[in-house]
Amino acid sequence: MQMDLLSDIRQDLCQKANLDWLLHQFDVKNAFLHGELTEEVYMDIPPGYNTTQTGIVCRLRKALYGLKQSPRAWFGRFTMAMKNNGFKQCNSDHTLFLKHRKGKEISQLQDYLATEFEMKDLGGLKYFLGIENHHLGEYPDQVPTNKERYQRLVGRLIYLSHTRPDIAYAVSVFSQFMHSPSEDHMNAVLRILRYLKSAPGKGLMFSKHVHLNINGYSNANWAGNVTDRKSTSGYFTFMGGNLVTWRSNRM
């Protein structure tokens, strides 16, 4: 049975930490636009395209963002490129490609992929799918950002966090920099917006569990804030199997 992709990534990160593996990250710009469609897919005439004819549609030859076929189309294109470069696709996990070779394989792979796609070298892996130890703070050399826009976005996120506990802590951190936000702070806020766009329907759901048991969970770190070295604690309370209260505090 094919393993979950995120489980594979967590296992890779675990092995990197324990075996000192080198993990290098590349980014393919506009990845989904490289996918070639095998099905017949049509779309309405895009806004701004002038035509005197009626009842006309466009047939897509390439994938677009938002199409349900796009992820599969892109992965098929990427798989073909990796196999052409001598990689073998793992039978148990089709997202894993293997090539037994030493030397300058990473740089050679980058050069090859650059002939197939528009690439960006992100260097050694530091951040992936939200997995990192990120510390936002105030620094003398920070680049300022649009203060009004930052405050407006964070204000809306504060309101949304009342029904989205998954972003509650991050929003509480962002709100600490309302007076002097930097580009790093704004980028962190935009990451939350991208997460919300890709994860709709993750708000509170009150379901029937035929009991009213109360369960609480708490956690804390020690002097984890890089600005004032304060500690952060948080708790969640469930009643009848449903989340009813949560909070994070700085001490």
Residue 171: DSSP 8-state: H
Average pLDDT over residues 87-109: 81
Average pLDDT over residues 64-75: 79
Say if residue 88 is in the same domain as residue 20.
yes
Residue 124: the pLDDT is 77
Decide if pLDDT at 153 tops 90: yes
Structure-model confidence comparison of residues 144 and 1, the more confident one: 144
Domain of 241 in residue numbering reads as: 205-251
Say if residue 9 is in the same domain as residue 118.
yes
β-pairing, 119-124 vs 97-98, is unpaired
With respect to residue 129, please indicate whether it lies within any of the assigned structural domains. Answer: no
Choose the final residue of a domain: 90, 105, 124: 124
With respect to residue 39, please indicate whether it lies within any of the assigned structural domains. Answer: yes
Residue the block writes with tokens 């930052």: 150
Residue 21: the pLDDT is 72
Beta-bridge partners for 233 = 220, 249
With respect to residue 154, please indicate whether it lies within any of the assigned structural domains. Answer: yes
The percent of residues above 90 in pLDDT, for the chain, comes to 7
Question: Which residues, other chains included, contact 1 with Cβ-Cβ below 8 Å and sequence gap of 6+?
Answer: none
DSSP codes joined into one string, 42-80: EEEPPTT---S-SS-EEEEEE--TT-TTHHHHHHHHHHH
CB 116 within 8 A of CB 79: no
Q: How far apart are CA 210 and CA 51, in angstroms?
A: 61
With respect to residue 248, please indicate whether it lies within any of the assigned structural domains. Answer: yes
Say if residue 118 is in the same domain as residue 68.
yes
Highest-confidence segment of 103-107, 110-114, 159-163: 110-114
With respect to residue 166, please indicate whether it lies within any of the assigned structural domains. Answer: yes
Say if residue 9 is in the same domain as residue 78.
yes
Structure-model confidence comparison of residues 12 and 183, the more confident one: 183
Q: Per the structure, how many domains does the chain have?
A: 3
Q: How far apart are CA 140 and CA 126, in angstroms?
A: 23
